[in-house]
Amino acid sequence: MRQAFIGAMAALTAALVVSSLAVAQTAQSQNKQARSPWVYYPLDTIVGDGGPAPKRDLSGTWAGPGSTDAIPRGAPAEKPSFTSLGQQTMSQRKPIGRFGPAGTNDPTARYCDPLGFPLNFIYQNRAMSVATMPNRIVFLLQFGGFWREVWTDGRALPTKVGGEDRDSLDPTYMGYSVGHWEDDYNFVVDTTGLDERTWVLRDGTPHSVMAHVQERFTRVDHNTMKVSMTLDDPKMFTKSFSLGTYYYRWIPNQKINEWLCVPSETLKYLQEQGDPAGSYPDAQPQRLGGGGRGR
């Protein structure tokens, strides 16, 4: 009798665990409209932790900062300490937050140039997919439709990028990245060889081609991923500093929508709206619109 009772309790416990896991991975929908498998619904956010994190696996499709308020708060980038070259370069930058679309020299805002890494993991990375291949992990970004390869085959980072030597590699918008699993849940990525035309932060913070970015991806649980980033670039900064910490959450239907910066649309926007409105860099900053959440 006692054994039967224990067996029944074990079965009940197992059933409760299974059902709670099912609930934990259920999407929280904020309206009752019919759903298409071809559409990403950012307001359909995942509930709970979804159970333990899988080992050595970041694969899946993730909602990032700014997509909805369901994304946990991270930490912003630290204020860097510039070298004289860094300060001089910074003084030439006209960020859009102060100068507006008409007065900025932000290459993405004016020309639709790629944000490049690491800015594309700091700004507007509202959704991305992560795919694991035998010798690399590939990040597929929603904004701009860019991809980024992180090699896991044990190769070393290049030491000559952007120089005059014939064997010097070309700088790239995504840089050159290698990664390794520090343990079952922490994936560490090192990147260098970044194109100097890109800005590190939206305020115009510069970097040199041999800047070194280190990322730590932590698979917190099945439904949560955390990314902490640091930047080391002695040419521009007197010491390394944090680029911030960012959280990602599992997207219930694993679908993200296309979101591109289209040059002809940017040109239309600037010609018909942004430029006629003018630039007032010394005016008090204000926010009048731009939507909700990530804007």
Partner 1 sequence: MKTRVRAFVPLIGGLLALGAPASAHHGDAAYSAKAMEMKSCVVTEFSWMNPHSLIKFDYKTQAGEVQHWTMEIGSPPSMALLGWSRTTLRAGDVITAFVYQAKSGVLVGRTNKVILADGTVLADRDDSTPSRYGTETPQK
**Residue numbers of the site for partner 1 (CB under 8 A)?**
31, 33, 42-43, 49, 65-74, 96-102, 104, 109, 126, 218, 220-221, 224, 226, 247, 257, 259-262, 265-266, 268-269, 272-274, 276-281, 283-295
Minimum separation from the CB atom of position 172 to partner 1 (A):
24
What is the C-alpha to C-alpha distance for residues 295 and 293, in angstroms, rounded to an integer? 6
210 contacts 161 by C-beta, under 8 angstroms = yes
Strand, coil or helix: 175: coil
Smaller CB separation from partner 1, 23 or 39: 39
Minimum separation from the CB atom of position 160 to partner 1 (A):
36
Smaller CB separation from partner 1, 167 or 272: 272
Smaller CB separation from partner 1, 70 or 131: 70
Smaller CB separation from partner 1, 37 or 290: 290
58 contacts 72 by C-beta, under 8 angstroms = no
Smaller CB separation from partner 1, 54 or 281: 281
Q: How many CB atoms lie within 10 A of CB 31?
A: 7
Minimum separation from the CB atom of position 181 to partner 1 (A):
16
Contacts of 221 (CB under 8 A, 6+ apart): 49, 50, 51, 52, 53
Backbone angles phi, psi at 225, to 5 degrees: -130, 140
CA distances from 140 to 126, 195, 216, 231 (A): 12, 19, 18, 22
Minimum separation from the CB atom of position 29 to partner 1 (A):
13
Smaller CB separation from partner 1, 3 or 31: 31
CA distances from 278 to 93, 112, 265 (A): 18, 19, 19
Smaller CB separation from partner 1, 97 or 158: 97
18: part of which helix (H) or strand (E)?
helix 2-24
Strands 60-63 and 241-250, how do they pair? Answer: antiparallel
Minimum separation from the CB atom of position 118 to partner 1 (A):
17
Minimum separation from the CB atom of position 277 to partner 1 (A):
4
23 contacts 48 by C-beta, under 8 angstroms = yes
DSSP 176-225: EEEEEESSSSEEEEEEE-B-TTS-SSTT-----TT-EEEEEEEEEETTEE
Task: Name the nearest CA neighbour of 200 among 236, 250, 253.
Answer: 236
Smaller CB separation from partner 1, 84 or 286: 286
Minimum separation from the CB atom of position 272 to partner 1 (A):
5
Minimum separation from the CB atom of position 246 to partner 1 (A):
9
What is the C-alpha to C-alpha distance for residues 24 and 47, in angstroms, rounded to an integer? 5
